[in-house]
Amino acid sequence: MTDNQWNQLLKTIEGEKFHPLPVGFIIDSPWLPNWAGITILDYFSNDDLWFNANKRAIDTFPQCMFLPGYWSEFGMCTEPSAFGAPCRFPVNEFPHAFPCLQTTDAINMLKKPNVETDGLLPFTLNRLRLNRSRIEESGHKIRFSVSRGPLNIAAHLMGTTEFLMAMLTEPEKIHLLMRIITDFLIEWHDLQKKTIDSIDGIFVLDDIIGFIGTEQFIEFGLPYFKEIFNRKVSVKFLHNDAQCEASVEYYREMGINLFNMAFDTSLNSLKEKTKNTITMLGNIPPRDVLANGTVDDVKKAVTDMINSLNDRSRIIVSCGGGMPPAVKTSHINAFIEAVNQLT
């Protein structure tokens, strides 16, 4: 993000209104490589291709905030790999991490990874360190430490069904697992910020929040997320594009001030439930409209969403979730045009 974009983000979080409204998207490997004309594997394994794909996006859409911006990642494999999860990297399909905890008893033997050396973490961070100069020469800075969330990582280590069942049947073991993962994540975010001193935000992605009820979130989610978000940074950003109704009223207590949600949730309702204390990044349908709709569909969805807002403060216009695969340049331009015409 540029300095101007970062300052606009901070002011939006503080409640200042902008005309036109800010536009922002989460972009990463599901969309960016193929849009830039390369394979996902090439994007992961070549610094120049990774850098050029990101730069092409920011040059093509200069009005957009791209979050987190120059994201160094290996899909869902980044953090689970540090725990020893087997990972698969097809040439042009999404990578996949497979469970490595075959029983809940295996949690007792699980060790907290070394964030400086284990799995894909050193490659993730070293890419940022090696490319920092040219990122800054492009007018941008690395602003966020990034990770998947503790529930998300736990579900990858155990399998989603097994993890959710164990919450109910063996809660003490799940608390142990959450303790290990949370301590790991705190160290991982601290190392990113220590290595890249321009970082002033934390970005955590965790869709498993939407798979559990309020009682389970309060017990197994809220206290651990509060620890992770308890950082001395200006932006505390959560992505959960699964359901959030069971947990959203606790998001301010969790510590976040920026939220990217699912597309089928009303922004007015979310602003009401959070007392308009959290900036909303959303939320037209990403796949059915932004990727698979027509240009006119995109414009209509953006127009209807903005016109429906009771309060246009603390809004960054986006899709509900990250940028999905196969979104065309024309559709993003139509999105931006609709925002500019309305606001």
Q: Residue 294 belongs to a domain with what CATH number?
A: 3.20.20.210
Q: Which tokens is 194 given?
A: 């220590």
CA atoms within 13 A on the CB side of 232: 4
Cα–Cα distance between 7 and 13 in angstroms, integer? 10
3-state secondary structure of 13: helix
Q: What is the DSSP letter of 207?
A: G
Q: Which residues of 270-281 are buried (b: 16+ CB within 10 A; e: fewer)?
A: bbebbebebbbb
Measure the CA–CA gap between 209 and 53, rounded to whole angstroms: 31
CA distance 242 to 321: 9
255 alpha-carbon distance from chain centroid:
16
What the block records as the tokens of 221 is: 């989610």
Pick the closest to residue 246 from 265, 268, 233 (CA basis): 265
The H or E element containing residue 317 is: strand 315-319
Helix and strand numbers, DSSP H then E, in the chain: 14, 10
Amino acid present at 25: F
Total domains in the chain come to: 1
Q: Amino acid identity of 4?
A: N
Residue 72 to residue 132: CA distance in whole angstroms: 11
Distance CA 233, CA 93 (A): 34
Which contiguous run of DSSP H or E holds residue 106? none
Residues 157, 203: Cα–Cα separation, whole Å: 21
**Torsion on CA atoms 244, 248, 249, 251, rounded to nearest 10:** 160
Angle formed at CA 44 by CA 39 and CA 50, multiple of 5 degrees: 85
Whose tokens are 């127009």? That residue is 303
pLDDT score recorded for residue 343: 67
| Biggest CA-to-CA distance, the chain | 58
Give the tokens for residue 24: 């922002």
**CA 220 to CA 26: how far, in whole Å?**
26
- Enclosing domain of residue 248: 3-342
> DSSP letters of 218-264?
IIIIHHHHHHHH-SS-SEEEEE--S--TTTGGGHHHHT-SEEE--TT
CB 183 within 8 A of CB 253: no
**Coil/strand/helix, residue 194:** helix
Residue 67 in 3-state DSSP? strand
What angle, 0 to 180 degrees and rounded to 10, lies between the N-to-C axes of helices 171-195 and 150-158?
A: 120
Chain CA centroid to CA 30, Å: 12
Residuewise pLDDT in 10s, the chain (343 residues): 999 999 999 999 999 999 999 999 999 999 999 999 999 999 999 999 999 999 999 999 999 999 999 999 999 999 999 999 999 999 999 999 999 999 999 999 999 999 999 999 999 999 999 999 999 999 999 999 999 999 999 999 999 999 999 999 999 999 999 999 999 999 999 999 999 999 999 999 999 999 999 999 999 999 999 999 999 999 999 999 999 999 999 999 999 999 999 999 999 999 999 999 999 999 999 999 999 999 999 999 999 999 999 999 999 999 999 999 999 999 999 999 999 998 6
**255 with 221: CB under 8 angstroms?**
no
